[in-house]
């Protein structure tokens, strides 16, 4: 990733979305295409507008005191992705379990998407009492299962998963702060380059004279073969 600037990739995607969305908007204003494409047009323009404002963060990165958000996100992103890949498996297990068991008895678990939305809201502390209270059955194994299921999910994800998620981000923030205080940390590419202690004039590097001599040798060889083929034809 050291050879790819993600900002340029985002700017390119942003320009493409805005250009395509603007073309659709012009065609909609002139009634060239159906009004059903308005949703697609608004989606493209809205997403492009979002990326424009996100791209402004790139210019704040040139200031040492304003780039802490960008550096922290860049540092924490690999660890966040690895952590979310593990947490997602556990989250999908709770979603499928709630959908299968509580779906016929609870309005918030009628489909997989509704189950996921309900659990995500519970994980953020939203509408907890209503989720417990609107069970269609108030006794039996399903009622007890729903209580154990919801309590276990809340304890596991609020006290463990979210806390660990925040700790991953805070660890990256502390690392970035130490770098600002002690100096700039070299990247993996810079560490790889610094392993070679030879200077530019060393024979370990390819020299222009050697490259020119090699190219002249190839050219002379090709010219000799061309002349030889001409003599053979005669």
One domain for residues 105 and 20: no
Structural domain boundaries, residue 99: 63-185
Among candidate residues 149, 158, 151, 152, the one with its CA nearest the CA of residue 100: 149
Q: Is 191 among the domain residues?
A: no
**What pLDDT score does 157 carry?**
93
One domain for residues 57 and 85: no
Using pLDDT thresholds of 50, 70 and 90, give the confidence band for residue 73: confident
Q: Is 24 among the domain residues?
A: yes
One domain for residues 173 and 95: yes
One domain for residues 106 and 55: no
Q: Is 190 among the domain residues?
A: no
**What pLDDT score does 231 carry?**
45
| Exposure class string for 177-214: b at 16+ Cβ within 10 A, else e | eeeeeeeeeeeeeeeeeeeeeeeeeeeeeeeeeeeeee
Q: Is 234 among the domain residues?
A: no
Give 61 or 106, the one with higher predicted confidence. 106
Q: Is 197 among the domain residues?
A: no
**What pLDDT score does 230 carry?**
52
Instruction: Read off the pLDDT of each residue in 223-229 and give the average, rounded to a whole number.
Output: 59
Instruction: Read off the pLDDT of each residue in 74-83 and give the average, rounded to a whole number.
Output: 89
**Is the pTM above the cut of 0.85?**
no
**What pLDDT score does 60 carry?**
80
Q: Is 105 among the domain residues?
A: yes
Digit-coded pLDDT (tens) for 114-150: 999 999 999 988 888 888 888 877 778 888 999 999 9
One domain for residues 158 and 55: no
Q: How many domains does the chain have?
A: 2
């Amino acid at each position: 990733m050291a050879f790819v600037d993600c900002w340029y990739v985002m700017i390119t995607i942003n320009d493409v979305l805005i250009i395509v969305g603007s073309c659709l908007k012009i065609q909609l204003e002139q009634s060239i295409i159906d009004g059903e494409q308005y949703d697609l047009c608004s989606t493209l323009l809205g997403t492009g507008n979002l990326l424009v404002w996100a791209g402004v963060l790139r210019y704040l990165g040139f200031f040492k005191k304003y780039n802490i958000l960008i550096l922290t996100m860049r540092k924490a992103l690999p660890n966040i992705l690895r952590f979310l890949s593990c947490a997602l498996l556990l989250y999908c297990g709770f979603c499928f379990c709630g959908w299968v068991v509580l779906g016929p008895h609870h309005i918030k678990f009628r489909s997989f998407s509704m189950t996921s939305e309900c659990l995500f809201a519970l994980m953020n502390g939203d509408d907890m009492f209503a989720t417990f209270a609107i069970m269609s059955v108030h006794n039996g194994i399903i009622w007890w299962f729903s209580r154990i299921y919801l309590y276990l999910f809340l304890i596991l994800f609020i006290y463990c998963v979210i806390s660990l998620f925040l700790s991953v981000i805070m660890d990256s923030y502390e690392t970035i702060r130490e770098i600002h205080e002690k100096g700039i940390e070299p990247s993996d590419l810079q560490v790889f380059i610094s392993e070679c202690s030879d200077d530019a004039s060393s024979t370990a590097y390819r020299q222009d004279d050697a490259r020119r001599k090699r190219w002249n040798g190839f050219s002379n060889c090709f010219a000799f073969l061309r002349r030889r083929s001409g003599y053979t034809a005669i």
